[in-house]
Amino acid sequence: MIVLGIETSCDETGIALFDTERGLLGHTLYSQIEMHSEYGGVVPELASRDHIRRVLPLIQQTLFAAKCELPEIDAIAYTQGPGLAGALLVGASIGAALSFALKIPALGVHHLEGHLLSPLLSTPAPGFPFIALLVSGGHTQLMRVDAAGQYKLLGETVDDAAGEAFDKTAKLLGLGYPGGAALSKLAQLGQPGRFKLPRPMLNSGDLNFSFSGLKTAVLTLINKHEITPQTCADIALAFQDAVVEVLTEKSLAALSQTGFTQLVVAGGVGANDQLRQNLSNKAALRGATVFYPELEFCTDNGAMIAFAGAMRLQTMHKEDWQPASSFTVKARWNLEMLGGSDN
Ligand code: KG4
Ligand code: ZN
């Protein structure tokens, strides 16, 4: 079965073709980051308009590169939410229109389900059950994953997401938007131990997180010190150390609480080298293994949506595979509610 995946939830247009027998046939991505960086964040209306410009040419490009024709596609998976309503509507309407025209099923996929299943696109892939640490620009959650579609929230951020904290701190350090990767690069030049920032909620006794206080702590450091390139690097390192330690300790606590031995890290912050090293080392000491998506599948992409859609379709009865007659998007959507009647 060949599934066309369409991702348009935020500022990346991602298209992919996933074949349940041959694996990923191809994928393309257009990032709007340059357009939004001028404004210091994503401008929703500009995002929607740009998705409209990109989505059809990218579908054609992906089909061409994979030597695949439209009639060969068996199903469409599009991101139905959560995300920016206008941006989601672009992918959903194209997905539904193609489904109607080709008389093939269309399925709305949860964006975070795409992220947390994305490590299954790599080899070796984890088997069920596992703990998933979802760390993106909009979410920071620890989920218990018993099977595809069976997710239980164990803990989440009570304020800023980890990626959001990286982006806001990067902005304070003059690194532009989105600044997670740039901050991480700058931290490599930092002197270990020069500054120590708090570890928010490290000992809260639950699996929740809080990152909004860290940017205030960073701002205090910036106001107190002469801002040289070295000081910026030292602050970047101190910030990254704090986030990485909290994410690592809470992930290990989730493994201990459930007795699971596999941890999957998904979302843009999962590209962070220091987080990867720290998690892998500490998990190995406890006999646990950490799985990461390929770097290109850490941030938003169409492959994870095509893959999550394919997994979901395989668990459905064929008679429920219907071409779209209408579509809806869900700007807010709780992952634990998956498996309901909306799909
Ligand atoms: O998953 P994603 O593409 O988008 C959302 O769905 O939110 O994640 C984007 C986030 C941004 O906040 C970005 O700064 C962060 O991931 N990010 C990083 C790194 N690369 C991307 N954060 C820390 N270190 C990185 N290397
Ligand atoms: Zn995402």
Residues with CB under 6 A from ligand 1: 10, 136-138, 163, 166-167, 178-181, 184, 267-269, 271-272, 299-300
**Does residue 343 have a pLDDT over 50?**
no
Tokens standing for 21? 């027998």
Average the pLDDT over each of 14-18, 205-209, 271-275, 339-343 and give the range with the smallest value.
339-343
- Ligand closest to 161 (CA) is 1
Write the pLDDT tens digit of every residue in 79-100: 999 999 999 999 999 999 999 9
Ligand 1 mutation target, pool 112, 136, 333, most atoms within 8 A of CB: 136
> What's the average model confidence in pLDDT over 288-313?
95
What is the pLDDT, as a whole number, of residue 339? Answer: 54
Task: Give percent of the chain above pLDDT 90.
Answer: 89
Determine the pLDDT at residue 14: 98
d(CA 15, CA 97): 16
Q: Residue 342: is its pLDDT beyond 70?
A: no
Looking at the CA of residue 9, tell me the nearest atom of ligand 1. Answer: 6
What value does the mean pLDDT of the chain take? 95
| DSSP SS3 for 32 | coil
> Model confidence at 316, in pLDDT bands (50, 70, 90)?
confident
Whether residue 341 is predicted with pLDDT greater than 60 in this model: the reply is no
Q: Which amino acid is at 6?
A: I
Task: For residue 75, give Cα distances in angstroms to 108, 150, 217, 319.
Answer: 11, 22, 49, 13
pLDDT tens figures, 118-165 = 999 999 999 999 999 999 998 999 999 999 889 999 999 999 999 999
Instruction: Give one word for 110, left, alpha or beta, with left for phi > 0 and alpha for psi -120 to 50.
Output: beta
Identify which of 334, 342, 341 has the alpha carbon closest to the alpha carbon of residue 152.
334
Which atom of ligand 1 is the closest one to the Cα of 138?
7
Ligand 1 pocket test, pick from 42, 115, 269 with the greatest ligand atom count within 8 Å of Cβ, gives 269
Residue 194 has pLDDT above 90, yes or no: yes
